[in-house]
Amino acid sequence: MNLLEKKAATSRRTPKPRRRFALPAPSTSVLFLIIALVLLYGVIYPNAHVLLAALQHDGSWSPANFFAVLSQRTIVESALTSITLSVLTVLLCALAGVPLAFLFERYAFPGRRLFAALAALPLVLPPLVGTVAFIFLCGESGILARSLQHVFHLSKAPWSLRGWGALLLFHTYTMYPFFYVLTGAGLQRVDAGLAEAARSLGASRARVLLRVTLPQLTPSLIAAALLTFMTSMASFSAPLLFGGNVRVLTLEIFNARQRGDTSIALTETVLLALISLAALIFFQRYEGTRRFVAAAMKGTTRRRQTIGSGLGRLLAACAAIAFSLLLALPIATLVLVSFSRDGSWTTQTLPPVYTVSNFAHLATDVDARSVFGNSLLMAGIATLAALVWSFCVTALTATGRRTRWKRLINVLVLLPWALPGTVVAVSIAEAYGQPNALTGSFILVGTFWILPVVYFLRFMPLVVRAVQASIEQLDRALEEAAGVLGANWWRRFWRVRLPLVAPGALAGALLVFVIAMGEYVASVIVFTPGNRPVSIAIASAMRDFNLGTAAAYGVILIAMIAIVMIVAGRLESRAR
Amino acid sequence: MPLLSLNNISKRFGATAAVADVSVAVERGEFFGLLGPSGCGKTTTLRIIAGLEAPDGGTVEFEGRDITTLQPERRGFGMVFQNYALFPHLNVFENVAFGLRARGGRGISPTVREGSLQERVEQALDLVQLPGFGTRRVDELSGGQQQRVAIARAIAIEPSLLLFDEPLSNLDVALREDTRRELRALVKRLDLTAVYVTHDQVEAFALCDRIAVMSEGRVHQVGAPRELYENPANVFVAKFLGRNNLIRALRLTSSNDPSTRFKTLEGGHTLIVSARHDQLMRLAVNKPCLLAIRPEAITVSKDQDGSEAGNRLAARIEHLEFSGATTTITLDANGLKLEALVLQAEGFRIGHECVVTLPVDRMELLSES
């Protein structure tokens, strides 16, 4: 059916469709109003404000001004740098992640399950904590460089962790799991019967891989490339701490704001947002043309090839162990440094003095405790709000007829996810930094509430997606059965939808909670000195060379994440 | 007055008409079937009855009341879903009690509510022969047991109408036949009215008092199983219900008496058919039409001395297909292909000449659509 026919079919529908299984009308109106207001204040207005402010230069309206600022060499250069860095990151991550996924999915060897889980580890590392751990391990005064220096009696460090190489290494380390996890999931879905059919038709192994397996993996690969590209575009901590003279957009926006150069900051923000959105649209368009629906219903069960020979098994196991050690090394370093006394580690290979005083300090010091208290409170508020919000949004969008309004709401809800954290923070800071028509004399910037608001906006799409996914998995017939049995909308919601969706929703919310606990990119733009989150405390500890304290903060964050991941895993498996 | 009547119901999904101008009346105490191939609109019709879909046009009346726009939870019907739709987070007891709790005070006085709830759930579980299963988790049950729980849940609320959406299609063949028998007995014992959707003709015949045969969103014929089988209203019904020989023919004689002569297009045989007067009125002489005769109505004999009256044709045996109790014989009567179903096929060989008899009263004149 072509577009015109579709249009015709839509217009032929009866003029007033009666809604079934939607919210009762008065509640719908109230809910719609609330959602519209939140989206207006949180998404539409701040972004529109930044866009208009970028177009408006020295009080006059003209796109020419925008292009005048845009054509400054530094801005164009940093945009190109960001894009180049992201494209290279995508390529390197694919090279690391895809073969690894094949290794773990296709072959059985001792310890496979454990190492397969370990390989996804960098995914849950907060970017700032990962950056700090990387500096301790690979920096020019880090453990690796110092060891080589001592072994070979070098007069100075064998390398410096600066610039393109350092950024690409770090990006590959933290982002290859996108390719690894999604390719693995894709491989699990690929029907082994298709490969068997191809083999029976006379295709060689290589031909099966190229013509049958990889085409089916394309959607997974595109999704992974998209996630990697977007994460790399939004990357801030690594360029800040060891980017050297690689000037990416996120960093340039931060610097321009520090200098007070608002017009440049705004223009760069708009540019970053546009590049991210363009990438999103490009990848999704491409994905749309490459989606295959398996025609066969009854698939062949996939069997892992066991590596038979003793030597092969040994090699595979060794490679897997070496690899997972490599992955665990930054975290191990972080743990080690967290027990070192601040200021004691100078030129030695390893920190010389060990103590638990860093953790004791974090537990007893009023300032450190308030930092954790701040982060817990703000992440908690944002998570709770996101949870309630996602049930509001899905109550409106996941029942009854699909309408243009609902699609628009969905797009607006997911928009902050597509925007880098820097863009979200700058847009809120700029929109609510001075009195305006929408907020009257209320100024958000400088208050406690700015961080919870930014966390909420940044991460609520994740919770909404989690709840939406749970609802989509829900058998429609369950709510219909409840309806036929006499349950009205509210009863269906409380007795059927909520209990069944709760595990998935909670898992999503917990994930958002720990991500918000370690949030740095947006926090660094809008935090207030009286209300510092953990990430800001880590950054300032690093600046003061209190390495042990910085590491201890990081270790606690990682421990929290580990606990939450285990709980979320349990919840999700129970949801099935 | 019928208990339930659908008046000119229609429903479109995008550009396709799922249900087109369907009118059906279900009497009180009747086991009513909606039968048709997949995608014929039978499930959509059932969902419209349940209130899960709103029709684009037409009305649904129950006990003479227009319930077209009434929300499903206010209709008081019971429904058994194809995949049972048992609540996975509730145990068997809570699943069966769900409808009773949802109705709250409606029908049950609050003071005796808990006690009577317990009683009614146990009663329902007894009826489906699952006594004492209340504390079981739903996912611990076998498919057949889940199906019984789904039925218990639907009848616990003492529904004024019971709706079934292919509830037996997920069971294996042996279990399906047993459950079929029990289901009909249960519905009849409780004196319930049921509407049952299925694509399985055998199932519909075994269960239902009357059946509406549907395809492409339209109802072709409504009637008792035997009536549908022996007097199919049109080509679709004749083909869909069991095997049938369809013979293209021209009308020869003009008199509208019951024994009219037809000439077959293949083979050029002259056949006498006892057609109904109203059908003949619509068919002019020398106009093409379709005749139908069931394979089991055809008799095959080795020589001319058959004593049965009817249309006798000489034919050659083309193929024999043995299937246990019966044998299907494929015949060629001078270009006219026929299938006959016989109990005894001894003595017949492929290539042998024989005589087939098509009894006058077992031949049907079909209308084209």
Q: Residue B144's domain is classified under what CATH number? A: 3.40.50.300
B99, A21: Cβ pair inside 8 Å?
A: no
Same domain, A234 and A368: no
Same domain, B259 and B342: yes
Q: Is B120 on the interface with A (CB under 8 A)?
A: no
**B92 is written with which tokens?**
């068997």
Angle of the A262-288 helix axis to the A45-55 helix axis, nearest 10: 120
Same domain, B142 and B213: yes
Q: Residue B333 sits in a domain of what CATH number?
A: 2.40.50.100
**A482 is written with which tokens?**
């409840």
Per the structure, the count of domains in chain A is: 2
In a domain, A367, yes or no: yes
A484, B153: Cβ pair inside 8 Å?
A: no
C-alpha distance from residue B170 to each of B36, B143, B144 (Å): 18, 8, 9
Query: What percent of chain A is predicted at pLDDT more than 90?
Result: 14
A and B: number of Cβ contacts within 8 A: 92
Q: Is B347 on the interface with A (CB under 8 A)?
A: no
Same domain, A105 and A41: no
Calculated CA dihedral for residues A296, A301, A304, A306, nearest 10 degrees: -130
User: Domain span at residue A217?
Assistant: 72-292+309-338
Non-local (6+) Cβ contacts of A115 within 8 A are: A104, A320, A321, A323, A324
Among chain A, residues having any CB pair with chain B shorter than 8 Å are: 1, 5-6, 8-10, 12-14, 17-21, 475, 477-478, 480-488, 491, 495-496, 499-500
Among B288, B293, B257, B251, which residue's Cα sits nearest to residue B274?
B257
Instruction: Identify the pLDDT of residue B210.
Output: 96
Which parts of B209-360 fold into alpha helices (H)?
A: 225-230, 235-240, 277-281
The torsion angles phi and psi of B262, rounded to 5 degrees, stand at -130, 155
Instruction: Identify the pLDDT of residue B65.
Output: 93
Distance from CA of A576 to the nearest CA of B (A): 10
Same domain, B281 and B327: yes
B73, A484: Cβ pair inside 8 Å?
A: yes
B75, A495: Cβ pair inside 8 Å?
A: no
Report B:43-72 residues touching A (Cβ under 8 A): 50-54, 56-57, 69, 71-72
Burial of residue A358 (number of CB atoms within 10 Å: 0-12, 13-18, 19+): buried
SS (H, E, C) A80-140: HHHHHHHHHHHHHHHHHHHHHHHHHHHEECCCHHHHHHHCCHHHHCCHHHHHHHHHHHHCC
Closest partner CB to B50 (pick from A484, A487, A488): A484
Same domain, B232 and B252: no
Distance from CA of B101 to the nearest CA of A (A): 9
Instruction: Identify the pLDDT of residue A1.
Output: 31
Instruction: Identify the pLDDT of residue A294.
Output: 44
Same domain, B118 and B234: yes
Return d(Cα B341, Cα B298) in angstroms, integer.
7
Which parts of chain B fold into alpha helices (H)?
A: 42-50, 92-103, 113-127, 143-156, 173-189, 201-207, 225-230, 235-240, 277-281
Residues in chain A closer than 8 A to B106 (CB atoms): 486
Same domain, B90 and B128: yes
Distance from CA of A385 to the nearest CA of B (A): 26
In a domain, A41, yes or no: yes
Instruction: Identify the pLDDT of residue A3.
Output: 34
Return d(Cα A176, Cα A173) in angstroms, integer.
6
Same domain, A287 and A388: no
Closest partner CB to B73 (pick from A1, A17, A486): A486
In a domain, A23, yes or no: no
Closest-approach residue (CA) in chain B for A490:
B102
Instruction: Identify the pLDDT of residue B62.
Output: 95
Question: Which residue among B203, B238, B273 closes a domain?
Answer: B238
In a domain, A204, yes or no: yes
ipTM beyond cut 0.85: no
Question: Which residue among B206, B238, B270 closes a domain?
Answer: B238
Residues in chain A closer than 8 A to B121 (CB atoms): none
Per-residue pLDDT tens for A423-457?
A: 889 888 888 887 776 666 677 787 888 899 999 99
Q: What DSSP character marks residue B184? A: H
Per-residue pLDDT tens for A162-214?
A: 888 889 999 998 899 889 888 888 887 776 677 777 777 777 778 888 887 88
Closest partner CB to A496 (pick from B71, B81, B87): B87
Per the structure, the count of domains in chain B is: 2
Q: Cβ(A429)–Cβ(A522) under 8 Å?
A: no
Chain A interface test: which of B16, B98, B100, B103 (most A C-beta within 10 Å): B98
Question: Which residue among B184, B205, B238 closes a domain?
Answer: B238
- The residue ranges of chain B whose pLDDT is under 70 are 104-114, 304-309, 368-369
Distance from CA of A477 to the nearest CA of B (A): 6
Distance from CA of B205 to the nearest CA of A (A): 27
In a domain, A345, yes or no: no
Q: Is B76 on the interface with A (CB under 8 A)?
A: yes
Closest-approach residue (CA) in chain A for B49:
A484
Neighbours of A198 (CB within 10 A): 18
Same domain, B23 and B71: yes
Q: Cβ(B54)–Cβ(A18) under 8 Å?
A: yes
User: Domain span at residue B262?
Assistant: 243-366
B71, A487: Cβ pair inside 8 Å?
A: no
Distance from CA of B93 to the nearest CA of A (A): 15
Residues in chain B closer than 8 A to A13 (CB atoms): 12, 56
Same domain, A150 and A105: yes
Residues in chain B closer than 8 A to A487 (CB atoms): 73, 98-99, 102
Query: Which residue is listed with tokens 């049952």?
Result: B196
B102, A485: Cβ pair inside 8 Å?
A: yes
A487, B79: Cβ pair inside 8 Å?
A: no
Same domain, B183 and B247: no
B54, A20: Cβ pair inside 8 Å?
A: yes
Same domain, A333 and A413: no
Q: Cβ(A226)–Cβ(A285) under 8 Å?
A: no
Closest partner CB to A18 (pick from B54, B87, B99): B54
Same domain, B219 and B259: no
Burial of residue A200 (number of CB atoms within 10 Å: 0-12, 13-18, 19+): exposed
Residues in chain A closer than 8 A to B87 (CB atoms): 478, 481-482, 496, 500
- The residue ranges of chain A whose pLDDT is under 70 are 1-25, 57-62, 65, 191-192, 287-309, 399-402, 437-441, 574-576
Cα maximum dimension of chain A = 84
Instruction: Identify the pLDDT of residue B318.
Output: 93
Same domain, A334 and A193: yes
Closest partner CB to B99 (pick from A5, A17, A485): A485
Amino acid found at B253: T
Same domain, B220 and B327: no
End-to-end Cα spacing for chain A: 36
Closest-approach residue (CA) in chain B for A502:
B89
Closest-approach residue (CA) in chain A for B83:
A477
Residues in chain B closer than 8 A to A496 (CB atoms): 87
B14, A481: Cβ pair inside 8 Å?
A: no
Same domain, A179 and A93: yes
Same domain, B267 and B158: no
**B113 is written with which tokens?**
């509510």
Same domain, B219 and B358: no
Q: Residue A558 sits in a domain of what CATH number?
A: 1.10.3720.10
Same domain, A188 and A119: yes
A484, B54: Cβ pair inside 8 Å?
A: no
Return d(Cα A345, Cα A330) in angstroms, integer.
17
Return d(Cα A199, Cα A327) in angstroms, integer.
36
Same domain, A260 and A134: yes
In a domain, A211, yes or no: yes
Residues in chain B closer than 8 A to A8 (CB atoms): 15
Closest partner CB to A500 (pick from B14, B89, B103): B89
In a domain, A11, yes or no: no
Q: Is B85 on the interface with A (CB under 8 A)?
A: yes
Same domain, A48 and A170: no
